[in-house]
Homo-oligomer: A and B are copies of this chain.
Amino acid sequence: MLSPSEIAALDRDDELAGFRDRFALPEGVIYLDGNSLGALPKATAARVAAIVETEWGTDLIRSWNKHAWVEMPRRIGDKIARLIGAAPGEVAVADSTSVNLFKLLAAALPHRPGRRVILSERDNFPTDLYIAQGVAALFGGGVELRTVVLPDEIEAAIDGDTAVVMLTHVNYRNGRVHDMARITARAHEVGAMMLWDLAHSAGALPVDLGGCDADLAIGCGYKYLNGGPGAPAFLYVAKRLQDRIASPITGWFGHAAPFAFDPGYRPADGIARFLAGTPPVLSLGALEVGIDLMLEADIVAIRRKSQRLCTLFQDLVERDCARHGLTLVSPRDADRRGSQVCFAHPDGYAIMQALIARGVIGDFRAPDILRFGFAPLYLRYADIAEAVAILRDILETRAWDRPEYHIRAAVT
């Protein structure tokens, strides 16, 4: 186990150490929740101000052409493509992950006529399950969401009834990573389509949608991509499918000629047909800053540091907090784990409130999980050691056992 000087050496040797200064991190906070809301890049405020004051305020409507607002969904999509193994023209930024998932599921089902099952796992992120339930209800005709209880059961459950396999690559609650290549191959083997949710993957670890021959994917802009609260989401449709499936939400920005004002809908060629309404320019501008910053780093280096941070945290908690009833619920093996480490504890909610009060911001996920996310661009190894020291102190003094830490906030 590491001594303080060994931890200092890790920070000294950190090839990504320079990125921390590119973020506006608050004093006195160790932020272990970048997988819920990424931190603010320092360049974002000026970029958003320029969009507000110059592009909107001064250039007004002319900015659609002058500042290429109209190209933002595809331009930023092409940048995200580089992080997830997609080709240019395969990714667009639009709407929320929920709406994008709706579009892609509803586009996929008619492409597999006669097959009625959207297959997922019970512990997928709830909005994914909810959206699939809504799509199933909308389609009727026996279309259903079917879920397996354990993630390892998914491959055996894929069969000739499966229209779409819908999985989140890195589980939101426990950080477990699915084998994207193997599950995608299995889906294709029986003629099912494969849809990946990359919410906890994009910007956290290398993803190779193209290499895995994935059909469809969605992802989130406000986690590891540091796009800001409620940032626009992205969607991916493999080139080979783009002109063979269609979005159910046939808005004007998905039209072949949006400004011809034709009364009849004709889908645009390529990924643009999956756009719907007018692009949210301010939010897109903020997101682009986060992605540009991410693209300066090497995603392999990000993954390497992420694994080291996670393993250090896991090891230190197990060494220093073992007596206090924490149960590791994320995979112990770094290669099977995303960029988070999670422990269950019956008093998880109150413990997390006590941590937050001491400046260590992680996340609580019902019913009992303490979730700690590690964003390698702005975390130091020393932060990990300090966070564990604070956790240890809270557990040893039972500082979490105060009435106010048990009161659930509106958002947990």
Q: Which residues of A contact B (CB under 8 A)?
A: 24, 26, 29, 31, 33, 36-37, 39-40, 44-45, 48-49, 52-53, 55-65, 69-71, 95-99, 102, 106, 122-123, 126-127, 129-131, 133-135, 137-138, 147, 173, 222, 228-233, 247-255, 258-265, 276-284, 286, 356, 361, 363, 365-366, 409-412
Contact = CB atoms under 8 A, between A and B. Distances in A.
User: For A45, A98, A231, A260, which residue has the most chain B Cβ atoms within 10 angstroms?
Assistant: A98
A400 to B, nearest CB: 17
Contact of A52 (B61, B62, B228, B409): B228
A296 B278 CA distance: 27
Nearest to A120: B263
B411 A64 contact: yes
Nearest to A41: B57
Contacts of A249: 98-99, 102, 131, 134
How many copies of this chain sit in the oligomeric assembly?
2
Contacts of A60: 26, 29, 31, 33, 37, 39, 361
B361 A95 contact: no
Contact of A281 (B61, B228, B410): B228
The 7 closest A-B pairs by CB, nearest first: A96-B277, A98-B251, A134-B250, A98-B277, A127-B252, A229-B281, A40-B57
B366 A261 contact: yes
Contacts of A229: 55-56, 63-64, 69, 278-282
Contact of A412 (B259, B263, B279, B361): B259
Contacts of A29: 60
A265 B61 contact: no
Nearest to A356: B62
Contacts of A173: 261
Given A249-B102, A281-B230, A410 B70 contact: yes
User: For A24, A233, A283, which residue has the most chain B Cβ atoms within 10 angstroms?
Assistant: A283
